[in-house]
Structure 1
Amino acid sequence: MNILIINASPRRRGLISGMMDIMGEEAVACGHHVEQIRVSDLAFRPCIGCMHCRTHEKCCLPEDDAVRTLDQIKAADAIVIGSPCYWGNLNGHLKMLFDRMVYGMMGETEYGIPIGLHKGKKAVIVSTCTTPYPWNIFFNQTRGVVRALKEILKWSGFKVKGVIQKGGTKKNPTLSAREEARCRSLIRKL
């Protein structure tokens, strides 16, 4: 199985990065091929809202890392997406990336009904925030990230196989053995 890990955290040694590394190691140990993308390292222009891609199934902007990332998503059997919580939502760079790739994630019928272009593929979502547990969920902090990513993935045809939400990262900046085990378990579910 080809697994693509999309890490939207700008922190190389943060908890999202740590969880992505654990998941990547577990996937390799299970015999899967793994590629990892750091969204903060990508160079791409934001969507200009011209709607060209909706009729031509190709972005009108020059080819950049957004197009290359879409090609990697198309080649993947499963994806793991991790994003820290920014104002109750996903990281802005990750949102910009998905905005640029919409034409390759979902299509439309002639009546404008969305059609997922990645049916049968699986996904795992990971999110962290400084708001302590369980308030990170009650106040829609990590839950906001998960909600947004589930929406994108659902309309793209992905089946979400698991979610990890870690709150309280300011006072608890490390992963517990239980959280590490959960990362490994979710990869084995794929």
Structure 2
Amino acid sequence: MKILVLNGSPRRNGTVASLLKSVTESLSAEHDIEWIDVCSLDMKFCTACMACREKERCILPEDDAHIVGKKIQDADALVIGTPTHWGNMSAPLKLLFDRNVSVFMGESPKGMPEPRQKGKRAVVVTACTTPWPFNFIFPESRGALRAVREVLHYGGYKIVGKITKPGTKKSNEISPSLAGKAKRLGKKLIQR
């Protein structure tokens, strides 16, 4: 099974990265796991030209967004992590998704969205400086999860679980229970 890990955090060894590693460390060596630090990709901004809808591919000059888009197509499952930025996913992760609309969804002849990754699985990881329960009362973590879920929904993914680590301003330590949940979700990701 090919599993693609998209780390949307600029901190390669931060809380989000630690949680992503916890999800994947429970997987056996028989699985092909590829890790991408999204914040280090060289991508041009989406121009909202909408040509990708007709061409089924972003028409901007070839860059890392095209390369990762192909990897998303080829992967059997995604593990996506993002810090919470203003109640949303990180800007580089959003840019990657914006540039790969045609990877996630197409359009029917009547203009209705059609998923292009139907049946694939995903796990979503977020971290937020806002402490519990305010990270959900105010739409911080909830907003970031919603934004990533929206992309995955239109792609046809089944989200097998999500992990949220609130209050990282005071402590970025991953509790044993949260690490355990991450490992269980990793195993659930590969179950058929």
Please indicate the TM-score interval, normalised by the length of the shorter structure: over 0.9
Please state if 1:21 is matched with 2:21.
Answer: yes
Equivalence for 1:47: 46
The residue type paired with residue 159 of structure 2 is V
Where 2:186 maps in the other structure, the secondary structure is: helix
- When the two chains are superposed, the root-mean-square deviation of aligned CA atoms in Å is 1.0
Q: How many residues align?
A: 189
Structure 1 residue 30: Cα displacement: 6.0
Contact 1:143–1:165 (CA under 8 A) maintained in structure 2: no
Structure 1 residue 31: Cα displacement: 2.9
| Structure 2 spans left out of the alignment, 5+ residues | none
Structure 1 residue 130: Cα displacement: 0.5
Report the Cα distance in structure 2 between the residues aligned to 1:163 and 1:58, rounded to whole angstroms.
Answer: 29
Please say which of residues 1-10 and 16-25 is displaced more in the overlay: 16-25
Equivalence map 1:100-179=2 (5 Å): 100-179=99-178
Report the Cα distance in structure 2 between the residues aligned to 1:175 and 1:165, rounded to whole angstroms.
Answer: 11
Residue deviations 1:65-92 (CA, integer Å, cap 9, x gap): 1011111111111100000000001101
Report the Cα distance in structure 2 between the residues aligned to 1:152 and 1:19, rounded to whole angstroms.
Answer: 21
Contact 2:57–2:100 (CA under 8 A) maintained in structure 1: no
Residue deviations 1:141-178 (CA, integer Å, cap 9, x gap): 11101001111100111010000011111112110111
Structure 1 residue 60: Cα displacement: 1.4
% identical equivalent positions: 44
The residue type paired with residue 108 of structure 1 is E
TM-score, scaled to structure 2:
0.95
Report the Cα distance in structure 1 between the residues aligned to 2:26 and 2:44, rounded to whole angstroms.
Answer: 33
Contact 1:30–1:188 (CA under 8 A) maintained in structure 2: no
Residue deviations 1:88-122 (CA, integer Å, cap 9, x gap): 01101111110000011100111111000000100
Structure 1 residue 25: Cα displacement: 2.0
Report the Cα distance in structure 2 between the residues aligned to 1:176 and 1:31, rounded to whole angstroms.
Answer: 28
Where 2:10 maps in the other structure, the secondary structure is: coil
| Structure 1 spans left out of the alignment, 5+ residues | none
Report the Cα distance in structure 1 between the residues aligned to 2:12 and 2:2, rounded to whole angstroms.
Answer: 23
* Higher RCO structure, 1 or 2 (CA under 8 Å, sep 6+): 2
Report the Cα distance in structure 2 between the residues aligned to 1:138 and 1:148, rounded to whole angstroms.
Answer: 16
Report the Cα distance in structure 2 between the residues aligned to 1:146 and 1:49, rounded to whole angstroms.
Answer: 23
